[in-house]
A and B are shown apart, each in its own frame.
Chain A
């Protein structure tokens, strides 16, 4: 059996605690592998000629790829069933060759009745520091 991950808990998820990883450089294969998994066959994500005719320089990543990276960052940190809400706001596109830096930070801890909650802000940026996605999560961490 594969070794299980150890998740952060209420005590370790103090305000200001951060976590990050870097993905990429993104390849066209990364895009195709992902759209094969989720079924998003918008040609702008796999058909270079179509994307150019649509006014883009080349194909670009489906936003849910970088969005999924941020989901991974948060779920592997606090535990996947600790997540209560997760929101992604797409700012700009990611292109083949881009590096995607994913960062998350605990911004608030609070009690909701008898439930302990942490609020996390996350973002994905590229190698130039441009925002690709801003994300927000509320989680109920293990004690």
Chain B
């Protein structure tokens, strides 16, 4: 097996011991990038015939910087020092985080020329734990999307399992890079499902921590009350190690929680005996318009996905868990309507800072006054989906609609939060340790099949966004492959700060399913790469 495909925790352990060089690990990642990534995405690039054979995850792959960092880790080991639990692991950073000295673009023309003067806290912490930043990966512009197709840097990433299909979004580059072995880890963000949904589509593990568990300092803001940085990797153990490095208070982000950070690896192998895991019919259907448009309807999710999740529940029961059926989460269907309001209001507010004056794109056209400078710079710099979000934010927060929409949405958020509090209450009727749900209503869809229909696209997050409203943690873990060979993700949701429990259940699932036939399948782009 190539170094690029090996589990990160094994690789890091060998680097720490000195039996493997961090430089070799990083070289293997760059070799894989050369094999599968294809041409580097560029602003407004025209499509080319062979684009859909490659991943196109990386906006920046900085070999020199990465090799220098890897060499420093090898020197530490040689000097008898411990380079940390992530020693030498390649890290692909979603280009929504500032990394000192690198272009930090948010996949937008308006920030295409912005070079970050500082690094985000999660980046600094992962590097301090030994991870090596190998580059920045693509995303939906300002994270606004669920397919990664709204990026200003084209071609958009493809799904390693089938590059004619989307990798999901907004962290499409992150999930794709990890799935294809281009990186062991990715640092991403989740505002409505942007880590978990692409993780499900690409067959990797993605964790959205509890709001406040990981610092947002240095993250380019979208919806500040919902944005959560978190890791993606190919297995649960690696995700636990990455979270360990990132989690905890940060004096530079006042919303980080002062709650103690547990050891996420300690009880990872402890199994699920006696744990109470809930299934809810509210997560096996969605209330959404049909693809192609039409009135909002209630319909079941993809039957392949439902069957996979129910089988996973049965097998967790055989491993000793207590499965609690028919758990009511009756406000789930309101999560997307409320998200349409809350996220747009926060986005419009956060994106007012882009003005062509302080940093980022400024129009080259002559302008008569400051207002014209704003209008031209923002008109040229923002993509269509960004403009759409800002306009909706303006509308629903206007004085005459605020009560009907924004305040109403914040009260619906209370109802969604209460649904979860009820089922996780240790003294309540359900007393759940976790909910087991599908991560997504469908598997990955073809590039171009949904993009442009902003309503249908938003419902790709129907099963992930409730956790963002409530602030609770969630993890997506590979659960199998659909009949047509695309990954299916299972989602585990838990009470505030229950990441250790969710990871433990996820790890148990990995062990239960370790010998399943689907586990030996590899993404399509790796077919010609060789073992």
To the question of whether A and B form a pair in one complex, the answer is no
